[in-house]
Amino acid sequence: MNPANAFSPRILVIDDQPSILLAIDTTLRMAGYNHVTTCQESTRVKDMVGADTPDIVLLDLMMAGVDGETLLEFFNVEHPGLPVIVITGTVDVNTAVRCMKAGAFDYIVKPVEEDRLLACVERASALSALRRENQALRQGLFTARIEHPEAFADIVTRDKQMLAVFQYVEAVARTGQPVLICGETGAGKELVARALHRLSGLDGAFVAVNVGGLDDNVFSDTLFGHTRGAFTGAERDRPGMIEEAAGGTLFLDEIGDLSPASQVKLLRLLQEGEYMPLGVDRPRRSDARVVASTNAPLRELEQSGAFRKDLAYRLRTHEIFLPPLRERREDLPLLVDHFLAKTADALGVPKPEAPPDLVPLLRTYAFAGNVRELESMIFDALSCHRGGPLSLEVFKAHIRRELGTPDAGSPSTSGADGLQFPDPLPTIKETTRRLVEEALERANGNQTVAARMLGISQQALSKRLRQEK
């Protein structure tokens, strides 16, 4: 059985008996393997493989023309690591051992048993998917470049951490396995999920569902749908989001808030590729890939028992961590310019120039809401703008509100009293020097902004800096 959202391998079946080819092709397609090619003439195999290398090969040993053992040697030499499952008509231990030593992944005895065939192909598929992912990761590490930057056009960044995320997304996009995207609120998790979908090669739609706070009945109805008469008021069939995402990507946002009962149903979807709409007594199958996101500490939820460990393991086959905006301060000028242009276009007004002190001011703030919060700040500022230079007052007022202080100072990352002291205590002179250095770093060298943070005049700061030289 080919599980839902699993890597869909290209399978080449080689046998000189048409009935065997038909039987294997039918079995594989009914199990969800849709990329199956059959070959009855063994003399054509090398040309076929040269044009399009498969991910898995099913190879009959006894054939007219080129025999299976010769082709096995060809695959082993020309395509090392390619899983080749040998099909033999005799229960011959010596033949099986010889084939395994020659590089066969496994062997099946005719007449081919369906369960044995599917079990072999599923294991070969997992190996092939892992092999493809490792190749992509190695290529990304060696080239250190983004192959498809257009897929990430919605994400404005030049941050090295984010570019590393892009490389990883490119590497795992086509494996078909579940992906878990972790990051704070507003960090861009859905944008990364959409980029993943664009690169996946899937023909179906990208369907996003926020599952946070949904009780089990609403979750089941939203995700799996219902049939007419399933409950009071169900006057017609309603397809769920999983059906809308057929052949595509189902994005489950805020997965950490999912109820225990709903977690069981999602686990079955991931393990078996099956789901049950309300009012249906037989499971239906899904081929949608599942991508989930969370801003919750999922491992802590696992420890407390609030989130199933087996579900978490399934979801994090591939795991992506997005850095918060406070760790991407070099992106602030790009983001400010981008959101100014975007907001001006939305409001139908000319794009104003950002004042010189804006980015230094924003560097002093921790952005609990990340990129989304920055966009909201700029939209608010531009909505109040009535011409001339863009005012800093809206930004300062926002920062004051978020910090709960009357002054637009920098956010504290310390204890309850706002200060932390090292042990042993530094001298007053050392403390002052460190404080000035920190203010200048946060202000990106702008003495006016740094002085404002320190509560002194710019002249006083300049005098202190001259004295320390």
450: CATH: 1.10.10
- Domain CATH code at residue 211: 3.40.50.300
Contact present, 57 and 75 (Cβ < 8 Å): yes
The last residue of a domain, from among 285, 305, 323: 323
Residues 425 and 387 in one domain: no
Residue 202 falls inside a structural domain: yes
Residues 341 and 462 in one domain: no
Residues 236 and 247 in one domain: yes
- Domain CATH code at residue 87: 3.40.50.2300
Residue 117 falls inside a structural domain: yes
Residues 26 and 128 in one domain: yes
**Confidence at 125, pLDDT banded by 50, 70, 90:** confident
Look at residue 409 in the predicted model and tell me its pLDDT: 43
Residue 131 falls inside a structural domain: yes
| Burial class, 333, CB count within 10 angstroms (exposed 0-12 / middle 13-18 / buried 19+) | middle
Residue 317 falls inside a structural domain: yes
Look at residue 417 in the predicted model and tell me its pLDDT: 45
Domain total in the chain:
4
Residue 1 falls inside a structural domain: no
Is 232 or 222 the better-scoring residue by pLDDT? 222
**Confidence at 423, pLDDT banded by 50, 70, 90:** low
Look at residue 333 in the predicted model and tell me its pLDDT: 94
What is the C-alpha to C-alpha distance for residues 469 and 467, in angstroms, rounded to an integer? 6
The last residue of a domain, from among 323, 354, 378: 323
Assign residue 326 a region: left if phi > 0, alpha if psi is -120 to 50, beta otherwise?
A: alpha
The last residue of a domain, from among 323, 352, 380: 323
Residues 226 and 313 in one domain: yes
Residues 223 and 198 in one domain: yes
Residues 99 and 197 in one domain: no
**Confidence at 164, pLDDT banded by 50, 70, 90:** very high
Contact present, 295 and 254 (Cβ < 8 Å): yes
Look at residue 280 in the predicted model and tell me its pLDDT: 80
State mean pLDDT over 371-387: 92
- The pLDDT tens digits for 226-274 are 888 777 777 788 888 999 999 999 999 999 999 999 999 999 999 888 8
Residues 163 and 298 in one domain: yes
Residue 141 falls inside a structural domain: no
Residues 61 and 190 in one domain: no
Residues 159 and 299 in one domain: yes
Look at residue 429 in the predicted model and tell me its pLDDT: 81
What range does the domain containing 394 cover? Answer: 325-415
Residue 5 falls inside a structural domain: no
- The pLDDT tens digits for 292-320 are 999 988 888 999 999 999 999 999 989 99
Residue 207 clears pLDDT 60, i.e. is over it: yes
CB atoms within 10 A of CB 281: 5
**Confidence at 421, pLDDT banded by 50, 70, 90:** low
What is the C-alpha to C-alpha distance for residues 242 and 290, in angstroms, rounded to an integer? 9
CA-derived radius of gyration, the chain: 29
Residues 182 and 228 in one domain: yes
Greatest distance between any 2 Cα atoms in the chain: 93
Q: Provide the mean pLDDT of the chain.
A: 85
Residues 390 and 425 in one domain: no
Residue 142 falls inside a structural domain: no
Is 389 or 422 the better-scoring residue by pLDDT? 389
Query: How far is the first Cα of the chain from the last one, in angstroms, to the nearest whole number?
Result: 73
